[in-house]
Structure 1
């Protein structure tokens, strides 16, 4: 791990043993267009003096030193971005960098503590606390992907306005940020509560955030879920996010990973983007002994789900009528309804008949459909349900089946989606 000496502004590498017992400050900020990079810090500094990034670097080090930290880390210059191994290590370790830091300095460069017009003898009029908090609620910092883990992981946070003057801490500051980010105030006060929040809730925190590089929508969440995976820029956001979900599934019975809603005609059980979780209701996990195992195979996502007989539940709630081929399946978790009741989420599954037989073995193969519909049922209506072992095709597997049918059943012409489900 490379760290800045906050007095000399020089970089030094520390191995794992050297980091033990070393307290360092860490910076959370939003990148500008003129940041100072790793190789520039080690080069001729005379050319850096007039750059905005140099001012940020020196202000961070000066502030960290004033708080008693001899070393500091900032992502602009403490990662050698020309070295892919260094980038991969930093991305996979970023959450722990913030978790292990002595303090996180959060610089809100677009939050100004003074009014636009100069008044009074001092030349500037400071805004009120309420006005300042209003600016904090709309800062660009809360809309960036990487700053999510940078907000949650540190044990100690200090907030600074654009001019590096401190923003006084207090519950009303955390209240404002909790409201804007939709992160629980309890978690913001105690980072070690993170394991108590389900997958869907964590995804929801990230659902409206943006990243400069498409794949970072997934990479910036690895630490939040305590998973690691290779960093493959160029694979695309959707592929990266699906890889993230696969990694999460390997270590979890948490079925809220499937409680998402998207405007898709059909889909697998995995979401395409964190944005699919934007409006997911508050969710609660079932105990592990009541949950079924599930896994992603080369034939699809293998899972056991409780199949609901619509004739038995009638037209309860928002369950729209479906034809005889479509299944209603419940997920093994609870969600909070707008009426304040905890109910079981339900999804629609449509059979993909062309994929039901492989080398003589029968598979009950499906696709999720009507993905935007939000359906829940009271627990009493799903107790003692009928569980079936199913395979739900992901997009790439569904496309493989579709192409195979076109090739091997030429009389059908171009197979449509309905051809596959009849």
Structure 2
């Protein structure tokens, strides 16, 4: 058996798909230190620079002292803390939904949500954008159901599938991200809601990369809709600078998930220090319109500069700006050259992205400056 591990690693190295854990030390928002060198960090999801905000650190420490450093166990076993309920109420109001449920991580939220839904409606047709996050693919696979995937953001294709497979199924579930993590483009949520209503389908939207960054007060793209999706999830580990995730929906759906979502039932609740940081971020994020505007301006500047070099940034129109290179080897080479020049732009390779679409993905932060962006454009120009 042990020789199989060695062979698997060798195969990954041969195909330029071997991953390694490389130490890094955060220095300040948008800057990290590696091997004694300070680097511009275009690799993190700390979109508003809140991971270093003193108020998040202060409140995390305060809540740790007041409520303890651990949640002690599952909320259904040890009891739910008042601070868990308080944060859930704040998140529901922030998202404009009836109720919300805290989950340990974004991966866990998606991986447990979909199997829980499929318990309720066995045989439902699941129709999800092919470029959804790996955690959603995992949740669909764990449900032991067929994924009728529709082409990326091709809602005509989705309607065709609903008229075919969906019409023969007892129920229909549509799943999408609002901002796609590897491409930086957006879903047409208004039309998706209309399609869901037309076909009597449940609509689930992953707002991980929109929460805090887009929508009124940073509440995400779904918060701007009058007719909202049935279920919205998002994370606190990106623009909120903390950790954990939420699922927002009706009171009835959240009540059902408390009783059916194994990833909620059988896991320890988020600890009080994490909740304290989330609480502080909920105070700060709605008032950060200037930072959001600056972030959008930086992303536009980066896209314009890269497009001017003839590089392919796809349909990105958010703070996530990919440059599709193609082969794994060339992408790794460009990522290494960027680091040599003082900037972290991480190589994203299959299976995270489709075959032949390896890319360097730039994730911007409002802590970056126009000079930081211009340095990246200059380096990419030399590489191009």
Question: TM class by shorter-chain length?
Answer: under 0.3
Greater share of helix residues, 1 or 2?
A: 2
TM-score, with normalisation over the residues of structure 2? 0.24
TM-score, with normalisation over the residues of structure 1? 0.23
- The structure number with the bigger radius of gyration is 1
